[in-house]
Structure 1
Amino acid sequence: MSNGDFDPTKPIYLMSYPKIVLLYPTFIASIICGFIALFLEDAANPTQSTLALSFMAILGVNLVVLAFDFPRTTSLTLFFCIVAFVFGFILLMRQFPDLLPAVSSFFNSLKPHANSTFYFLFAGVLGIIYLCVFFTVRMDYWEIRSNELLHHHGFLSNLERYSAPNLRISKEIDDIFEYLLMRSGRLIIHPSSEPRAFVLDNVPFIDGKEARITKMLSALQVTVRQEGPPSPPTNPKL
């Protein structure tokens, strides 16, 4: 959004999502695998085992992302190196079974099978959870206006108001994978009238939200400075 298109009077909404939303790659993979398994039909087809192993690999990587934080690029590089090494080792054992016979026989014995019903049920469960998340986050969200900060929470939409002038915000990208998957991060709000700060984790599209908030607060600062304090009355001449 350019500076000319920005409207400082338009409110900005901030919602903090739970980490379960980061499983959406597995959700998409389960739907794709379900349709592939539906067309394969034959459970003895070797492609079924490859499909199940691929799904388990995506699920495993996604669960690692969900379980651990990767705050730096070095940890991200290390993670991808470990994943590449594991998959490379598995492929090596499959192509050259005589290299390590015991290990090769173990990997060759891994032939999981899952029908389309399993994949669609998995996607259905995640879909129901996502629908619940969609409604619950709308019962607890923040709204930033040009002159005040509002906190909506509760089933009946309880409201707390804070003054927007001198409001400070801080952005933190504490997990590289969260940022890559949803462009999300942590937003810390410091109202001037409150001794404590409010921390919002996993806010999607955090860069755009921070830029809009900064422009809104800058416009508010300019307005306050232009108005200025009232001038003292002059003494009439006697």
Structure 2
Amino acid sequence: MSTDEKSPVSPIPASRRRERGIKIFMWPKVIYVFPSAIVALICSLGMWFLPNKTYDASVPPTPVIVDSPTGTAAPNANAPTATIDPNAPAPVTAIAAGPSMTRRERFNTPQNLLGILFLIMLAFNLVVMGLDFPRFELVGMILAILFSIFFILWLGAFFDLDLMRPINTLLGSIYTFANAGFYLMYALAVIGVMFIVYITRWLDYWEVLPNEILHHHGPLSDLERFPTLNLKFDKEIPDVLEYLMLGSGRLVLRVPNVDRAIILENVLFINSKEEALKRLMSRLDVRITTDQETPLI
């Protein structure tokens, strides 16, 4: 008795998934202010645990003695019905008991250190946004700063100069502070700007497909098309600090039969975009498909 052998069933070829392409967004430089928003949140939390610290700690507040029934000034400071000015940060007895605070001690107060931390971070973000630091210029600047510090220290050691005295005087004259509400409102304002930037990025972006480059721009999504055949692209790092913060850089697309190069500024995480473009450009997608993406040939 013979049995029919079952012919092996060949698997149906799976339909190829259509390439979605690579979306490339150009971001404004205002996004680099986000570290100051993070520091502002930290400072707001710190000032929340330091109530009644928004005043000059080296100057004791002058209490005003008033009569509680009428609110007029009392001639005698020892009046039994006297009350303290509500704007004074502490009772008069507590102020009179403690010693006067020096400028150096005032500089080391928590509210002042939080304020200086916030201003330094804000200044750093503004410098990153306003200036470009290529690799060699940044290295040269660091070397120049180190040489200047070494030369000043050498002068102090050779001529026996007390270099810390002017520095202490300068630090003692700095006293800046803000309440928790200021830091919180600044952080919320920056977060609101970041949200608007994130939404409006879809008004102008590029999409690279295996066979063409699409430029979407405008509120009604106007479209420009460029071929990807013989496309060349370059990656540039114009600012080292921006690259260290968000991995941003510049993409230059050179399309054949197009007079000018397509320059995409401030592309975030540019290394991943470069690798995706290499994989995409390594193959040319030529096929005929139906709407169901089933290959016919």
TM-score normalised to structure 1 length = 0.78
Shift >2 Å, 4+ stretches: 76-83, 98-106
Unaligned 5+ segments in structure 2 are 1-16, 58-105, 153-161, 287-297
- Aligned pair count reads 207
Could you give the per-residue CA deviations for residues 162-201 of structure 1, whole angstroms, max 9, x where no partner exists? 1111111111011101110110100011122311111111
Give, in whole Å, the separation in 2 of the partners of 1:81 and 1:52.
Answer: 29
* 2:193 matches 1:183: no
Deviation at 1:99, TM superposition (A): 4.5
Partner residue, 2:230: 166
Q: Per-residue deviation at 1:80?
A: 8.4
Change beyond 3 A, Cα 1:8–1:26: farther
Bigger radius of gyration among the two: 2
The answer as to 2:84 corresponding to 1:36 is: no
Match of 2:129 in 1: 66
Distance 1:128 1:81 in 2: 39
Higher share of residues assigned helix: 1
Normalising to structure 2: TM-score of the pair?
Answer: 0.63
Report what 2:186 is aligned to: 122
1:1-238 correspondence runs (5 A): 9-43=19-53, 44=57, 46-73=109-136, 75-76=138-139, 78-79=141-142, 82=145, 99=163, 101-220=165-284
Q: Aligned in 2, Cα 1:69/1:52: closer, same or farther, shift over 3 Å?
A: same
The SS at the match of 2:225 is strand
Q: Give distance in 2, aligned partners of 1:119 and 1:142.
A: 37
5+ long unaligned stretches in structure 1: 1-6, 90-97, 225-238
Q: Could you tell me how far apart the structure 2 residues matched to 1:79 and 1:41 are?
A: 40
CA RMSD of aligned residues (A): 2.6
- C-alpha contact (below 8 Å) 1:8/1:219 kept by paired residues: no
* Structure 1 residue matching 2:49: 3-state secondary structure: helix
Counterpart position of 1:94? none
- Change in Cα spacing, 1:49 to 1:77, as seen in structure 2 (3 Å) is farther
For 1:236, the equivalent position in structure 2 comes to: none
Report how far residue 104 of structure 1 moved.
Answer: 2.7
In structure 1, what is the Cα distance between the partners aligned to 2:241 and 2:143? Answer: 11
Alpha-carbon shift at residue 69 of structure 1 (Å): 0.8
The amino acid that maps onto 1:150 is: L
Structure 1 residue 49: Cα displacement: 0.4
Q: Secondary structure at the match of 2:124?
A: helix
Identity %: 36
Deviations 1:75-96 (A, max 9, x none): 146248749x88xx9xxxxxxx
Deviations 1:101-140 (A, max 9, x none): 4553232021111111111111122112111211221110
CA contact (8 A) 1:142 1:149 kept: yes
Q: Would the aligned equivalents of 1:23 and 1:62 in 2 still touch at CA under 8 Å?
A: yes
- SS state at 1:40 partner: coil
Segment drifting more, 129-138 vs 141-150: 129-138
Query: CA–CA distance in 1 between the matches of 2:140 and 2:179?
Result: 35
1:218 and 1:41, CA in 2 relative to 1: closer, same or farther beyond 3 A?
same
The AA in structure 2 aligned to 1:167 is L
- What SS does the aligned partner of 2:243 have? helix
Aligned position for 1:228 = none
